[in-house]
Amino acid sequence: MRKIDTLIPERGQPDTVALHAHDPNALARYVLDTGNAWWRRRICAHALVGRVPEARVPGLVDRIRDEDETAEVRIALLDLLAGRTELLPWLLDKEQRGDDSCGVAEAALKARGLLGDRTAAPGLSTLAASSWQRWREIGEAGLDGLVGHHGAEAVLAELGEDRPEDRRFALRTWHHAGQDVTPYLADPDRGIAHLAQSLVAAPGRLRAFLDEGPAPEAAVRAACALHQLTEDAAETRRIDERLGSPRTEVDGLDEELRQAIVHEYAPWCERQSDPRWLLEALCTEPPGRPDLPDQLARATAALTAAALAPDPPVSAGDHHQQGDGTYHVISCGDEDIYVSTLGRFVTGHDDRHPARRALEEAGFRWIDGTTGRIRVTDLCVYYFGRREPLDVDTLLFYWQD
């Protein structure tokens, strides 16, 4: 036990090479001893992959079944013992009873898939369509297990294509089989159409698809997918003109704001976004970005001239002591002034603060409450766990930890 403790120090990285060479019986005993730290036991479970002592399997299965056991240990053991048929009765019973331990239900669902339980297919399909990579990988691994047991056709038949997540599985399956997935660009679910956009790999097929006169949004996706393959800006602009240069209109969003936002966020917006935002970014010139040292110096000088005693500017990340963002903060006593990196945009908590007039006279644009509250429709941006349209204020002065 002491040997294992030294291989997994409280600080620093575990010696994984030594652990994978360590006596598997000793590792299994360590996992079974609940007096040991759970995080060390989880690492020992990982080190047992491919060499679990048969005599220790019943005890390890008991650890999985024990709802008082640490969830992370149970998850590691479910992965370790995936494929053990003695788990299936408990897994099926657990499905009926439920289990609120974080992550265990998902790991159990994957184990059912790896054991070939076709009734797990709908749940795995839902997981595989998650916005969170952790759940998505678990769902995909379980579905792959079902395909390994029963073949892709059987799993596709089990799921059908009524639900968006099931069509996503069908798309992924056809892609892996080398089939044409271009028709999925027209799927009514934007997440699926977005995935198809990232998977199509034949420029000629995309050009033919565009010639077929697809629905407007599918045509935009085809244009974006083609650009991703060819990086031919001239061709993309020609297609954009042929499609009528489609744009997502947002009331109150003027061109200066629009260009700053579209070129910052459209290239990496979330999958439920309207693809017209990306096409606009591809077909328009990005606005010039300010020289940050000069911009901050001018803002500080204007605030100083107004006798507001500004502190030195700090980045959004330094201001929050973590993360990063698209603005700097200049504190003026009881008011923080935000200076965007996306253009000449500034704001603060009080639209009547004297800093507003000082900065506007220096050529900055103050984003007041009315303008800041404009929601940029159908441009979904990741923001503290959410993936949805944000308002102008959040986009110009964006921070993420």
Instruction: Tell me the mean pLDDT in the region 173-188.
Output: 95
Confidence of residue 310 (pLDDT cuts 50, 70, 90): very high
At residue 197, the pLDDT reads 97
**CB atoms closer than 10 angstroms to residue 355:** 26
Answer yes or no: is pLDDT of 2 > 80. no
pLDDT at 178 over 90: yes
Do β-strands 375-383 and 365-366 pair in parallel, antiparallel, or remain unpaired?
Answer: unpaired
298 φ/ψ angles, rounded to the nearest 5 degrees? -65, -40
Tokens 């898939």 correspond to 113
Sign of CA dihedral 353, 356, 359, 364: positive
pLDDT of 317: 96
pTM of the model: 0.85
**Pick from 170, 259, 268: which is nearest to 228 by CA?**
268
Q: What CA–CA distance (Å, rounded) separates 73 from 63?
A: 8
Compute, in degrees rounded to 10, the torsion defined by CA atoms 117, 122, 123, 124.
Answer: 70
Would you say residue 397 has pLDDT above 60? yes
How far apart CA 253 and CA 371 sit, in angstroms, is 8
Residue 98 pLDDT: 56
Q: Which backbone phi and psi does 252 adopt, to 5 degrees?
A: 90, -10
Contact 82, 114 (CB under 8 A): yes
Query: Could you read off the pLDDT of 39-96 as tens digits, one per residue?
Result: 999 999 999 999 999 999 999 999 999 989 999 999 999 999 988 888 888 888 765 4
Given this model, what pLDDT does residue 134 score?
92
Place 182 in a pLDDT band, splitting at 50, 70 and 90. very high
**If you average pLDDT over residues 368-379, what whole number do you get?**
98
Q: What's the pLDDT score for residue 131?
A: 87
Tens-place pLDDT, residues 207-239: 999 999 999 999 999 999 999 999 999 999 999
On the question of pLDDT at 97 being above 60, the answer is no
Output the pLDDT for position 255: 96
User: Please, what sign has the CA dihedral across residues 83, 89, 90, 94?
Assistant: positive
pLDDT of residue 385: 92
Per cent of the chain over pLDDT 90 is: 91
Q: List, in order, residues 6 or more apart from 328 with CB less than 8 Å away.
A: 292, 296, 313, 314, 315, 316, 319, 338, 339, 341
Surface-to-core class of residue 18, CB atoms within 10 Å of its CB (0-12 exposed, 13-18 middle, 19+ buried): middle
| Average pLDDT score, the chain | 94
Q: Are 51 and 26 in contact (CB under 8 A)?
A: no
Tell me the mean pLDDT in the region 138-150: 96
Contact (Cβ atoms closer than 8 angstroms) between residue 220 and residue 185: no
